[in-house]
Each structure stands twice: as C-alpha cells, then as structure tokens.
Amino acid sequence: MLKSMMIAALALPVLTVPSFADEGRMSNLEFGRANRCLAYAGINALTQDPLDLASLETRFLAAKERAFHEVKVEAETEAREIRVRGRGANTPVEVSRLKARRDRACSYFVEGATVARN
C-alpha cells in the first residue's frame, strides 16, 4: 500500500505539468474564433468603430505558426470569405450587420463587447 501511494505521489506532478506547460497555446476552437474576430475587425467598413485586438493578434500569429496545415487553410479560407463580405458592404444597414457579426465573433476575447456571449 505504501508503495502504491508513493507511485501515485510521484506520478501526480508528471500528470499535471503538461496542462501548465502550454498555457498560452490556443485550441483549434479558440484559433477559429480568433481568426473570425480578426477577419471581421480588419474590414475597412468597420474602421470607424475599431476594437483593440493587438494582444489577440499577437497570440493568434504565434498559434498560427504551430497550427496544423489543415487548420491554417480552413482559417485562411474563412478569413477570405469574411473579407469578401466586407467589401460588399455598401449601405449603413450592411455595415451595421457586419459590426454585429464582428462584435459577436470578438465577444469571446473582448471585455465589454456589445453582444452577449453565446
């Protein structure tokens, strides 16, 4: 019994260390959320109402370097589609819709976003 308790005590730090080692790393889900947020935030039509996303962009770029190829390709495709939608926003109503989408996409990262988190 003492031997098994000793093994368990020695194994505990080994099991918990990996969870702390990559604390700054983004999950694929968080990477996708950050990608959408940054893509919407980069739309020219929304420059009158900017968000401060400098720290998110830094984390995203670091995560992008480590992300799997498929995840990067999917993110780049989605960002391209968002930019195309942004270029097509010519009326105040369309810009308002884009702003709502941006706020929804960024609400996970931005404190006090105008849209409740889902």
Residue 33 tokens, joined: 């959320």
pLDDT of residue 73: 95
Higher pLDDT, 18 or 67: 67
* Chain length of the chain: 118
CA dihedral 58, 63, 66, 71 (to 10 degrees): -130
List pLDDT tens digits, range 3-44: 655 555 555 444 444 443 455 689 999 999 999 999 999 999
DSSP 23: T
